[in-house]
């Protein structure tokens, strides 16, 4: 496994792979890898001749008073996991290497960034767009792998790729969870024992929502209210948002719209703060299931 610290090293090694006609899969991360990242790495290795991991804590996507300085880091642990997953090349640049001077170029993706984390973290996705576009240009992967735990990020990057005709296929991958359902996150290490116990309510709420949304006459507004109420009753966490949107366009629904009259896919997205730790989670709801069930019921 090769470790590159500079763009020049990365370019040299990738040139050799390209000369050999090998396909390349990229997994961009901010490090402190866990089993969720490992699932992306293994899939990248399975579906490509060569798999590249990038580890870079991108300061451009952190706002004022966010957790950039205390974001968890463990380089040796990351390298060990990457090697176990069969990664061919790891790109671990310093901030000065990625941004030798203050960037004067912005990648602004509108509409899909106006809600959820984009609303509560202004500028966050501008920073994501910038660093991901840089990584795509540096690595020139055939495929790039992202976890659906951050479904808005997947939607934003897919929009950027489509708009700019970037020659990379985006591969969304399922959220990996702890045995009790908590979505794996590098930020989970911040939770106290009590907060960790309460945090599982996010996945429990989503699991219930998969049943609630099929109830007769369930509306968009009622589903949001039931989800928010369940979180408030079961935890001491502070809700940042509970939203039900179309996916991947991330457009809001009229609160009174019966879900049985809808079509396509929706995302129920949650963000809750436990102390100073903000956790996100989501599930995709397929309205064809609702309409299909209704149609079957009418036939009976």
Enzyme catalytic residues:
37
Distance CA(60)–CA(135), nearest Å, equals: 14
Pairing of strands 89-91, 143-147: unpaired
Strand partners of residue 238:
273
Q: Can you say how many angstroms the Cα of residue 270 is from the centroid of all Cα atoms in its chain?
A: 13
Starting at the edge strand found earlier in the chain, the sheet holding 143-147 runs: 2-4, 89-91, 50-55, 24-29, 143-147, 169-173
Sign of CA dihedral 260, 261, 264, 265: negative
Distance CA(241)–CA(3), nearest Å, equals: 39
Could you tell me which of 115, 74, 86 has the C-alpha nearest to residue 270? 115
Distance CA(176)–CA(147), nearest Å, equals: 8
Kindly state the tokens that stand for 297: 């019921």
Could you tell me which of 81, 98, 86 has the C-alpha nearest to residue 139? 98
Could you tell me which of 164, 71, 152 has the C-alpha nearest to residue 112? 152
Gap between the terminal Cα atoms of the chain: 60
Could you tell me which of 193, 188, 184, 202 has the C-alpha nearest to residue 238? 202
């Amino acid at each position: 496994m090769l470790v590159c610290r500079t763009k020049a090293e990365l370019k040299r090694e990738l040139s050799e792979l390209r000369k050999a006609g090998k396909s390349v899969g990229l997994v961009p991360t901010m490090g402190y890898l866990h089993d969720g990242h490992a699932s992306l790495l293994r899939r990248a290795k399975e579906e490509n001749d060569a798999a590249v991991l990038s580890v870079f804590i991108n300061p451009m996507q952190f706002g004022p008073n966010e957790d950039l300085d205390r974001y968890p880091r463990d380089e040796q642990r990351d390298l060990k996991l990457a090697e176990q997953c069969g990664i061919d090349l790891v790109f671990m640049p310093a901030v000065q290497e990625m941004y030798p001077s203050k960037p004067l170029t912005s990648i602004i993706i509108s509409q899909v960034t106006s809600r959820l984390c984009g609303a509560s973290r202004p500028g966050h996705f501008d920073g994501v767009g910038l660093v991901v576009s840089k990584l795509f240009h540096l690595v020139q992967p055939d495929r790039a792998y992202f976890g659906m735990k951050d479904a808005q990020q997947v939607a934003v990057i897919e929009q950027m790729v489509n708009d700019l005709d970037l020659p990379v296929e985006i591969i969304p991958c399922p959220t990996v969870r702890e045995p009790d359902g908590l979505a794996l996150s590098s930020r989970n290490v911040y939770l106290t024992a009590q907060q960790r116990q309460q945090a599982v309510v996010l996945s429990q709420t989503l699991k219930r929502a998969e049943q609630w949304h099929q109830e007769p006459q369930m509306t968009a507004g009622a589903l949001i209210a039931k989800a928010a109420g369940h979180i408030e009753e079961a935890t001491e966490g502070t809700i940042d948002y509970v939203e039900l949107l179309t996916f991947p366009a991330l457009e809001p629904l009229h609160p009174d719209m019966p879900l049985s009259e809808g079509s396509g896919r929706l995302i129920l997205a949650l963000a809750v703060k436990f102390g100073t730790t903000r956790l996100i989670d989501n599930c995709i709801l397929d309205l064809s299931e609702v309409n299909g069930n209704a149609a079957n019921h009418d036939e009976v």
